[in-house]
Amino acid sequence: MLQPNKVHYDASSAISLGRRDRQEDAVALDFPVGAKHGFAVLADGMGGHAAGDVASQIVVTEMFSELKMLISDPGAMESNIRDRLCTAIQDTNMCIEHMANTTPDVSVMGSTALVPVIFGARLYWVSVGDSPLFLFRKGQLERLNEDHSMAPQIDEMQTKGLIDEVEAENHPDRNALTSVLAGNEIPRIDCSGKPVSLEAGDIVIAASDGLEFLSEERISDILMTYRVRPSSEISAVLLREIEALNHPDQDNVSLCLIKVMGEEEEQLVAPDPIAAVAKIVQADQASRPSSVTVLSRKTNGASQVVCVSRKVKM
């Protein structure tokens, strides 16, 4: 069993416009280096509602600020975690209601909300809507949170033989939500009072439903193949796979990927630009590169490679 004081995380987020005209997803995370706790907030604005992008930004802004304050005392927060998370969701919903009532241009809007919170090796969450929370462990991908859409009911109809597989997959109400943050009463809130125990090697993914254009089998294959790589690299591979589908109806995609690691594992960080250049030169030595250009930036004193380009003599 992974000891809570031995755990550390490698967390990153990624977002893509897909084939949509505007970005209605929003995501933020807080996993300080060396801390034994952290959280993420992800929201998927309602595509069928006006100002879905405004709603998702409200969810992320309000939930993030509330949890950032609460987690400053992690012991107190975890001791009453369910009430704290549910209250934060209700308060955020009230903010959406206030915005809708005072701003005519955004009088109708809504968003999902997905908030995983980790203390040591214990995972909690609160969610409203259909944004999935996945746990990848030992080659198996499992959805942890409830799906507040019509999909589970439609799948049950298929199981009972009322409709066939094709009808279930293409049902016009499959993606209709049964619960959402829209300023009125929230029909359903999935809030875990009992944690899921995490193990070294686990990967937690919070995502908008745009990620589900990839099958769960394909997501599992990617995670299995790249599981030893940094979280940022795995996130980038998932987005590239989605882009490669070239699906004409591809939705916005946002995700937060959290790798759980024990003390014996090396903590993965953004690559150093000089080391990155050395690897490129070494790998391409046979091709005799004539020049290598590295663009990098520093964030809080840490170097991060933005772009590496090279010209090779033929």
Enumerate domains of the chain plus CATH numbers. 4-261 (3.60.40.10), 273-312 (no CATH)
Helix%, strand%, coil% for the chain, nearest 5: 35, 30, 35
Residues 6+ apart with CB under 8 A from 124: 78, 81, 82, 85, 116, 117, 118, 192, 193, 195, 196
The one-digit pLDDT tens for each residue of the chain (314 residues) are 667 677 899 999 999 999 999 999 999 999 998 889 999 999 999 855 668 899 999 999 999 999 999 999 999 999 999 999 999 999 999 999 999 889 877 878 999 999 999 999 999 999 999 999 999 999 999 999 999 999 999 999 999 999 999 999 889 889 899 999 999 999 999 998 899 999 999 999 999 999 999 999 999 999 999 999 999 999 999 999 999 999 999 999 999 999 999 876 644 444 444 444 444 445 444 444 443 333 434 344 443 433 433 333 43
For residue 296, the model assigns a pLDDT of 39
- Strand 113-119 relative to strand 122-128, pairing: antiparallel
First to last CA, the chain: 54
Regarding pTM above 0.85, the answer is: no
For residue 286, the model assigns a pLDDT of 45
Q: CA 74 to CA 77: how far, in whole Å? A: 5
Q: CA 310 to CA 298: how far, in whole Å? A: 22
Q: In the structure encoding, which two tokens stand for residue 108, read together?
A: 């109708």
Helices (H), 215-305: 216-226, 231-245, 273-283
For residue 313, the model assigns a pLDDT of 40
For residue 303, the model assigns a pLDDT of 39
Q: CA 82 to CA 250: how far, in whole Å? A: 34
For residue 265, the model assigns a pLDDT of 61
Given a contact cutoff of 8 angstroms between Cβ atoms, the answer to whether 148 and 181 are in contact is no
Residues 6+ apart with CB under 8 A from 53: 22, 23, 24, 26, 45
